[in-house]
Structure 1
Amino acid sequence: MSDKPAITADGYCTNTKPIPSTTRQINGHALGGKLVKMHGRRYAHCPCGRRPSLTDRGNLHRHKPPKE
């Protein structure tokens, strides 16, 4: 599968751009006290298969691809 991004030597995905139109914001406050840390966070899909959160600039946080 050549459409997946490259992996660094320490196992992290090199992609920083989310897939267009996959950005969603989670309202964790409505989910209860344990999940209030998710309130207002934005998540987007990466071509590697993960759904990491986004930085303030709209890039994906550093993440590892899912194990296959």
Structure 2
Amino acid sequence: MSDKPAVTPDGYCTNKEPIFGTIRTINASATGPKFFHLHGRRMAKCPCGKETSLTDQGNLRRHKQPQA
């Protein structure tokens, strides 16, 4: 039995809640103008094993589970 969240028929993870304590903010302002769009992006891990960015409401963005 797997502890991973369910998957939709098109392969997307159904979990929206990040793992508590895994939220971090990427600060890329020192890398130059090409990567400045990364500044302030909040990332978190999903129980499926994927790390993805968060929405403004603190939910995980739509993502596919990593392939085994």
Normalised by the length of structure 2, the TM-score is: 0.92
Q: CA deviation at 1:18?
A: 0.1
Post-superposition Cα deviations, 1:13-47, rounded to whole Å, max 9, x if no partner, equal 00000000100000011223322111001000001
Relative to total residues, which structure has the larger strand share, 1 or 2? Answer: 2
Structure 1 residue 42 corresponds to structure 2 residue 42: yes
What is the percent sequence identity of the aligned residues? 62
Name stretches of at least 5 consecutive residues in structure 1 with no aligned partner. Answer: none
Runs ≥4 residues deviating over 6 A: none
- Match of 2:7? 7
Take 2:47 and 2:31, find their aligned partners in 1: how far apart are those partners?
28
* Secondary structure of the corresponding residue to residue 37 of structure 1: helix
How well do the aligned residues superpose, as a CA RMSD in angstroms?
1.0
Match runs of 1:1-68 below 5 Å = 1-68=1-68
Read off the aligned partner of 1:18 and give its amino acid letter.
Answer: P
Q: Count matched residues.
A: 68
Q: CA deviation at 1:62?
A: 0.2
